[in-house]
Structure 1
Amino acid sequence: MSDAPVTLLPREVRLVVERILLLTRLPAGSVPAVRDVVLYSAAAGLGGLPLLQRRFDDLRSVNLASIRISETAPGHLAVDAGGQHAWMVLPLLLDALGEAVARHGAALATVEHVLDAEELGAACAMGPRAGLTLFTAAGACIGPANGPDAALMRADAPLILLAAPAADATDAVLARVLRDGLRVEAPLWWELHHLSNTSLSPDTPESRRHAGPVIVEADGRIIGRSDHDDDTDLSLLTEAPAAKATKHEAA
């Protein structure tokens, strides 16, 4: 196996990251949103997939119920992340900022007690897809052009995000990744790929017969499908080739 970096498309990253998140306590309905945060983190030059590997054990014990978001003044949000990872906070924070911007024209959020606070910078990359432009309190967007600014992300200081309506809702980050892909070190990628496979059922003859919407018994009987809800003609699997041709010609 080559150790040369591999170039990945968003579909590949999303598939593997989603399977890994299924190994955590993250509610299934929140998995797609957090999956995309990891993708944008990688695309924005933040922690991305290497951080996913390092933080996997911490992510397994996620508890979204510990996150608190309150509006202390019109358009001013106070976020206590309860020690949760920034990736888990971001989908909730973006929703709250979007709602506050819709009501007040602009919004500000102060985030405290968050793990890997620099990853909240992915909000700048994700903003346009939510119709938002986001900045740090210093006015520098942390994203694909700038990279993380450690001075703005001290572990002992709250992070302040400013949000306003986006003048251009073009998702430039996703467009770039769709065009150019993401380059990842091959050993890291395959380690994550193998980890993601542990979320799947073991591959056995029995599991293969139970894959999909029906059960196929060992003797070939099919359970879970009736004629009125499926038009598959299983006789095509047993007819002789000549009979198949005659049948299709007649149709």
Structure 2
Amino acid sequence: MTELRLTLREIRLIVERLVQAAGVAPGLLFAARDAAVVSAVLPVAGFANLSAEITALAASAARSAKLSEGEDGVLQVDVAGQHPWLVAEALLDLAVERFRLTGRGEVLVRGAVSPREFGVVAGLAEKHGLAATSSETAAGALLQVRPRSAQATSLLDRIRHRGCIVEAGLWWPLYHASHEALAPDSFESRRHAGTIRVEADGRIIGRNDEDETDLAMLAADPSQLRPASIP
């Protein structure tokens, strides 16, 4: 069995492409990406089941959630069939707020697909300096926030320092799928990639004085390359 040691940056890059290709709305992209990364490395879904969860994510869509409060004082949220990666960050924020205000940070979630994926709150809560868990009950997924041990090493710090060990057979299909999600390479796509843009008539939009890009490969007639005039 061949294993790879991946950096946090590599995992985020590939997962972000896959989540974006799944049709996640721009405003939810980073939250869903972070949830997916935690799901892979914690692991909740793990790398073995990440593709299946991305498929479930693609079949989900952002919808309005319904909030109510139970007789026991626990906030209840019906997420109307959404995937946990779309709502975990927002629901965790609600649990953290209630914890800060009342000392009891609990949110009961109903109506989610793949409810086990709420387990990602364990990793997402670390940035708040808190610990969080999700447990499946007959009534739904119960998210609970509590104080975090000062001695505990965070999940992301551990990966930043040591990397993440993944079986090659699990990683490469994700890697190749992320590349298939990119726009096909073409002369047009190369002219509009990176920090500058080269128009069809040779005008250069953006600064290129510190860029090492060979602009000649981005113009049909390199002799026409010129900075765009600024009014």
TM above 0.5, yes or no, is: yes
Could you tell me whether the CA contact under 8 Å between 2:89 and 2:124 is conserved in 1?
no
Q: Deviations over 1:205-241 (max 9, x none)?
A: 222122234332567x23324xxxx47289xx89xxx
Could you tell me whether the CA contact under 8 Å between 1:69 and 1:79 is conserved in 2?
yes
Partner of 1:191: 173
Partner of 1:232: 209
The 5 Å alignment of 1:215-230 reads 215-217=197-199, 221-225=202-206, 230=207
DSSP 3-state at the match of 1:223: strand
- CA shift in 2, pair 1:73/1:92, >3 Å: farther
Could you tell me whether the CA contact under 8 Å between 1:128 and 1:170 is conserved in 2?
no
The 5 Å alignment of 1:7-156 reads 7-72=5-70, 76-136=74-134, 153=136
What CA distance in whole angstroms lies between the structure 2 residues aligned with 1:231 and 1:12?
Answer: 27
- CA shift in 2, pair 1:169/1:26, >3 Å: farther
Instruction: Please report the TM-score for the alignment, with normalisation by the length of structure 2.
Output: 0.78
Query: Cα RMSD between the aligned structures?
Result: 2.9
Match of 1:177 among 127, 136, 159: 159
DSSP 3-state at the match of 2:21: coil
Q: 1:34 Cα deviation (Å)?
A: 1.5
What CA distance in whole angstroms lies between the structure 2 residues aligned with 1:79 and 1:37?
Answer: 19
Q: 1:203 Cα deviation (Å)?
A: 0.9
Q: 1:10 Cα deviation (Å)?
A: 1.0
Could you tell me whether the CA contact under 8 Å between 1:129 and 1:169 is conserved in 2?
no
What CA distance in whole angstroms lies between the structure 2 residues aligned with 1:57 and 1:16?
Answer: 15
- CA shift in 2, pair 1:76/1:65, >3 Å: same
Query: What number of residue pairs does the alignment pair up?
Result: 213
What CA distance in whole angstroms lies between the structure 2 residues aligned with 1:115 and 1:182?
Answer: 27
Could you tell me whether the CA contact under 8 Å between 1:128 and 1:171 is conserved in 2?
no
Q: 1:165 Cα deviation (Å)?
A: 4.3
Between the two structures, name the one with larger relative contact order (CA 8 Å, sep ≥ 6): 1
